[in-house]
């Protein structure tokens, strides 16, 4: 019986490993609310400087997220001091209100494209900072606390191109 259980555990581990993933990480928001001044920051090093990569932004939301889309600001700092800033919009729900993403129950995980076929030109520390840029229609001031975003993360994978 023990041998069978051990075989199952090893099989699950082998199947669940994705060799194309280079770096990944998540950080939880405060009680499922993301403050606009709280930039979620990730540092990563030891990246292949020749291989092309894709970078994804991973978000988990629950049913309290009140919007069908999400505006994000991403800042990527390179080791040489250069910073690339991007403002992006992502669709989070279908027109009928059905959440996009994967997951069962009230939590959905979305894997959102950030950079495609990027080459990290030098070794050193790269920093990715993410913040939301949500505002209600017709209002100048942005949403201070964005409800329903439970976790913010990133994933870097090797490109096949």
Domain boundaries, the chain: 21-158
Stated pTM of the model: 0.84
CB-based contacts of 65, cutoff 8 Å, min separation 6:
92, 146, 147, 148, 149
What pLDDT digit, counting tens, does each position of 39-98 carry?
999 999 988 889 999 999 999 999 999 999 999 999 999 999 999 999 999 999 999 988
Answer for the pair 133, 69: CB distance below 8 angstroms, yes or no: no
> Is residue 79 within 8 Å of residue 122, measured between CB atoms?
yes
- Burial of 124 from C-beta contacts in 10 A (0-12 / 13-18 / 19+): middle
The CATH architecture of the domain made up of 21-158 is Sandwich (2.60)
Average of per-residue pLDDT values in the chain: 88
């Amino acid at each position: 019986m023990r041998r069978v259980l051990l075989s199952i555990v090893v099989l699950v581990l082998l199947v669940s490993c994705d060799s194309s993933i280079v770096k990944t990480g998540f950080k939880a928001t405060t009680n499922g609310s993301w403050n606009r001044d709280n930039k979620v920051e990730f540092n990563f090093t030891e990246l292949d400087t020749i291989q092309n990569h894709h970078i994804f932004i991973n978000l988990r939301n629950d049913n309290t997220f009140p919007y069908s889309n999400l505006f994000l600001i991403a800042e990527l700092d390179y080791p040489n001091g250069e910073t690339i800033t991007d403002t992006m919009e992502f669709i989070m729900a279908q027109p009928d209100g059905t959440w996009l993403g994967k997951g069962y129950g009230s939590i959905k995980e979305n894997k959102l494209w950030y950079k495609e076929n990027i080459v990290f030109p030098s070794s050193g520390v790269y920093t990715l900072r993410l913040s939301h840029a949500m505002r209600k229609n017709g209002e100048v001031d942005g949403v201070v606390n964005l409800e329903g975003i439970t976790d913010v993360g990133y994933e870097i994978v090797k490109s096949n191109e």
